[in-house]
Amino acid sequence: MNTYCTRADVESVWSPAAVLAAADDDNNSSLSPAEEALIEHAIERGAGQLNAVLEQRYSLSALATNAWCRDANAVFAAYFLAARKTDEALPTGLANLFAWYCETLTDIGRGRLKVPEAAETHDHLPSVSNFRST
């Protein structure tokens, strides 16, 4: 799967302590390989949300180093990590960022916006073809 961010990127959106707390299921202040995998899974899940929309208009490999995709992937991953351990409201700042990126992604999918600094590789404009019978 094409992902765009790292754990450090997720920690830049949400604090390292919050990321640790969200994945530290045994509450020992360190992460086992299985708990580390929870962070990777959240990153992959966030990328999956992005890729489902972006692959319609862009080559995913061309977006691999795109800053908007990195930041969106990090926000999505942080949101998914935050949501896994609580039934309470998520941190307001994170929830607002998540909502903004979701809205922006929807607008990109509908063709209202483009991914910043990325060239579209799939043309979805209407076209006309002339067929000739012989």
Distance CA 87, CA 66 (A): 33
Q: What does R_g of the chain's alpha carbons equal in angstroms?
A: 18
**Alpha carbons 92 and 112: distance in angstroms, whole number:** 27
Q: Give the model's pLDDT for residue 125.
A: 52
In angstroms, the CA 120 to CA 52 distance is 15
Q: What is the mean pLDDT of each run of 10 residues along the chain (134 residues)?
A: 95 96 95 97 98 96 96 98 83 95 97 93 58 65
Rounded to the nearest angstrom, the gap between the alpha carbon of residue 42 and the centroid of all alpha carbons in its chain is: 9
Predicted model pTM: 0.87
Tokens 């002339």 identify what position? 130
pLDDT for position 48: 98
